[in-house]
Amino acid sequence: MRILSVTSGKGGVGKTSIVSNMAVSLAKQGKRVLVFDGDLGMANVDIFFGVHPQKNLQDVMEGAPLRECLTPVAQNLDLLAGGSGLYGLCHLNAFQRREILAHIAEMNYSYDYLLIDTSPGLHDHVLHLNSVADECMVIITPDPSSFTDAYALIKVLHQKYRAQKFSIICNQVSDEKAGAQLYLRFADVAQQFLPIRLNYKKTVPFDPQMKLSNQLQRLIVRQDAKSVSAQAITGLCSEIVSQNQMVASPFEVVKSLDILFRPASGHA
């Protein structure tokens, strides 16, 4: 199971839109996908999927077996819902966070991909979820505050968890050229001041069709596969699958399990 986190410094940049569409796209490509709604306390991936979870992370924390708390979304695609308006969930301690990840690690052989949607910002649980991912995908938009907040998140992840590699997704830009320019500006600043490596992952253009689909609780990759946003997200998923086919090795599987069980560094 390859763990991909989708994160940002600032809210409203498109994390949940991208995670939910990526999940459907990967599942359509025959991959077994588990989505973990890690936007703890404010979880809403279920809304995007149009499902009504009977159980969520809260039940797992109260001792229910994880398998019984998953919500089937489509063929090859399940959701571990995060629970909304649950104060306790956004104040998990380090032990509880590790416990959740240990439960999820038990799913290692049942799924090809674990996609984690996170809260925005610098909360400990956001940092921890990103630190266990094989690939941390940070979303930036042309909004200047998304730029500075993404920089802050990467800086803290580097300082606290020694994370060094990040993938950047440019969302809500006018076109691919504008996305590449945005990436270059960001990479220029970030790599100048931090000893990290950035990887330009994808541009997802601003697409009114996607906005409309989201409002209607329909996923754009299902609704209009030819739209610019759906094409970008499908392309992103195809690239992820082909890259993983090239690099996947037994060593990697062992490594990802090891990371999940390793205590988080830093304070609780």
Ligand X SMILES: Nc1ncnc2c1ncn2[C@@H]1O[C@H](COP(=O)(O)OP(=O)(O)O)[C@@H](O)[C@H]1O
Instruction: Output the six-digit token pair for 187.
Output: 């990479």
CB of 7 to ligand X, least distance (A): 9
- Of 17, 131, 146, 256, which lies in the binding site for ligand X, with binding defined by CB under 6 A? 17
* C-beta of residue 37 within 8 angstroms of C-beta of residue 43: yes
Instruction: Output the six-digit token pair for 185.
Output: 């500006």
Cα dihedral value 66, 23, 185, 144, nearest 10: -70
- Of 121, 196, 200, 206, which lies in the binding site for ligand X, with binding defined by CB under 6 A? 206
- Rg of the chain over all Cα atoms, to the nearest angstrom: 17
* C-beta of residue 9 within 8 angstroms of C-beta of residue 54: no
If one asks whether residue 7 binds Mg ion (CB under 5 A), the answer comes out as no
Phi, psi angle pair for 38, to nearest 5°: -95, 15
For ligand X, the binding residues in 150-189 under the rule CB under 6 A are: 171-172
Candidates 149-157, 189-197, 206-214, 251-259: pick the segment binding ligand X (CB under 6 A): 206-214
Instruction: Decide the pairing of beta strands 71-74 and 77-80.
Output: antiparallel
- Of 2, 15, 98, 202, which lies in the binding site for ligand X, with binding defined by CB under 6 A? 15
Candidates 94-102, 103-111, 184-192, 202-210: pick the segment binding ligand X (CB under 6 A): 202-210
Residue 88 interacts, among ligand X, Mg ion, none and using kind-specific CB cut-offs from 5 to 8 Å, with: none
Please name the amino acid found at residue 173: V
Instruction: Report d(CA 237, CA 150) in Å as an integer.
Output: 22
Strand partners, 144: none
- Of 5, 21, 131, 229, which lies in the binding site for ligand X, with binding defined by CB under 6 A? 229
How far is Cα of residue 112 from the mean position of the Cα atoms in its chain?
15
CB of 11 to Mg ion, least distance (A): 7
If one asks whether residue 207 binds ligand X (CB under 6 A), the answer comes out as yes
Tell me the number of residues near Mg ion by CB under 5 A: 2
**Maximum distance among all Cα pairs of the chain, rounded to whole angstroms:** 49
* C-beta of residue 204 within 8 angstroms of C-beta of residue 233: yes
For Mg ion, the binding residues in 10-69 under the rule CB under 5 A are: 15-16
CB of 63 to ligand X, least distance (A): 29
CB of 141 to ligand X, least distance (A): 8
Nearer CB in complex with Mg ion: 82/205? 82
> Which of 84, 21, 19, 76 has its CA nearest to residue 57?
84
CB of 47 to Mg ion, least distance (A): 10
If one asks whether residue 11 binds ligand X (CB under 6 A), the answer comes out as yes
If one asks whether residue 14 binds ligand X (CB under 6 A), the answer comes out as yes
Residue ranges that bind Mg ion, judged by CB under 5 A: 15-16
Residue ranges that bind ligand X, judged by CB under 6 A: 8, 11-17, 171-172, 204, 206-207, 210-211, 214, 229
